[in-house]
Structure 1
């Protein structure tokens, strides 16, 4: 939003003022409009410094002058908004990635014990009878094998009943407790579910032990899912929803 306001200020500046091709240095502010003009310039510069430090000042000024004169344009008018929007999207994505990486590093230190507890649990669990471990690290037990069809892909929509707990046995989500099955596309859930449910036939009931990297990773999800939590689900595949 800050960047959008900057661009709005640029538009306002271009609309309000016109000038020649040469910029004269102003040393005194005699009229009110002189002070207003100077204040707008200062405000715009401060916003650029705070949010768009990498702006090429020469190119910015040249663009302003060309825009006022409507001559010698280096960019076609029809492309202006797309160029700005593309840059802002990239900048926003980069900022979000940086924030996520920072948060993940902080969580890795703060919740190191939780991560290790999950790793230790899975290392022991995979040696138990009936536990199957996939290449990704997902572990599961077949509680009941169904006879129906399997989900064809990650885009398949399914109806399931499930009961989810953390390693301490605390329930964090359960359609069973709510008494109402859930429907969703397999590409809309955590990776462990996307993979695991494609192993199941309709009518099956599996117990999944999902490593943190196939669950929510460094994210906190409510009170009972700390960062780097290994999750346990009992899942029954009731139906494949035709779309």
Structure 2
């Protein structure tokens, strides 16, 4: 239901509730109930005791946690299997170079400048996707190159950058153990995900 909040107290109250809602919406669990959340807030502000015992609460939390962990494990397993299958097929394609570590790359543009060292700071443009094409990060889309130390990025990048002459543009196919591994990254990159990056090495800053 849409409502108009005009006073400072109403605006701040709504914003606080919105923050809680945004937090749950970013990482929901199956069966999450907005009415129950609202009832809990209302009872707390009214000073009413909780109708739920501590034992029941702990049991319910454990049940939801077990369900969420099982789903995350299944998601990670699927990501690992799909990534391995993708990389196995990709390695057969013409122009794909596979290093001893398992990193795969193809040269889109061959530069002629110096190669960075492991302790260099570089300027790059990049476009990162999952193997299904979903974009998770892109300096190209932001229109702003990124600078960072070669040894402060994921393993696949650290390895590739030291082989790239400045001015090069490579497409990297990075297995999970050279990317974010079992941890994943935020909500966009699941654990054990293989990643694809188009990387253009613009300059060695230092």
Give the TM-score of the pair, scaled to structure 1: 0.54
Residue 157 of structure 1 pairs with residue 125 of structure 2: no
Which residue of structure 2 lines up, in the alignment, with residue 119 of structure 1?
Answer: 84
Bigger CA drift: 218-227 or 196-205?
218-227
Residue 203 of structure 1 pairs with residue 173 of structure 2: no
Alpha-carbon shift at residue 224 of structure 1 (Å): 2.3
Which residue of structure 2 lines up, in the alignment, with residue 222 of structure 1?
Answer: 186
Instruction: Tell me how far apart the structure 2 counterparts of residues 212 and 129 of structure 1 sit (CA, whole Å).
Output: 22
Residue 188 of structure 1 pairs with residue 148 of structure 2: no
Instruction: Tell me how far apart the structure 2 counterparts of residues 159 and 234 of structure 1 sit (CA, whole Å).
Output: 14
Alpha-carbon shift at residue 237 of structure 1 (Å): 0.2
CA contact (8 A) 2:183 2:191 kept: yes
**Unmatched tracts of structure 2, length 5 or more:** 1-68
Largest Rg, 1 or 2: 1
The list of structure 1 runs, each at least 4 consecutive aligned residues, that deviate by more than 2 angstroms after superposition, is 104-110
Instruction: Tell me how far apart the structure 1 counterparts of residues 192 and 88 of structure 2 sit (CA, whole Å).
Output: 15
- Aligned partner of residue 224 in structure 1, secondary structure: coil
Give the TM-score of the pair, scaled to structure 2: 0.64
Alpha-carbon shift at residue 168 of structure 1 (Å): 1.3
Superposition map of 1:1-243 within 5 A = 110-152=75-117, 154-242=118-206
- Aligned partner of residue 195 in structure 1, secondary structure: helix
- Aligned partner of residue 238 in structure 1, secondary structure: strand
Q: Which has the higher contact order (CA 8 A, sep 6+)?
A: 2
Alpha-carbon shift at residue 106 of structure 1 (Å): 9.3
Aligned residues: 138
CA contact (8 A) 1:108 1:218 kept: no
- Aligned partner of residue 100 in structure 2, secondary structure: coil
CA contact (8 A) 2:127 2:138 kept: yes
Q: Deviations over 1:11-51 (max 9, x none)?
A: xxxxxxxxxxxxxxxxxxxxxxxxxxxxxxxxxxxxxxxxx
Instruction: Tell me how far apart the structure 1 counterparts of residues 164 and 157 of structure 2 sit (CA, whole Å).
Output: 11
Alpha-carbon shift at residue 203 of structure 1 (Å): 0.4
Q: Deviations over 1:35-81 (max 9, x none)?
A: xxxxxxxxxxxxxxxxxxxxxxxxxxxxxxxxxxxxxxxxxxxxxxx
CA contact (8 A) 2:121 2:149 kept: yes
**CA separation of 1:199 and 1:105: change in aligned 2, threshold 3 A:** farther
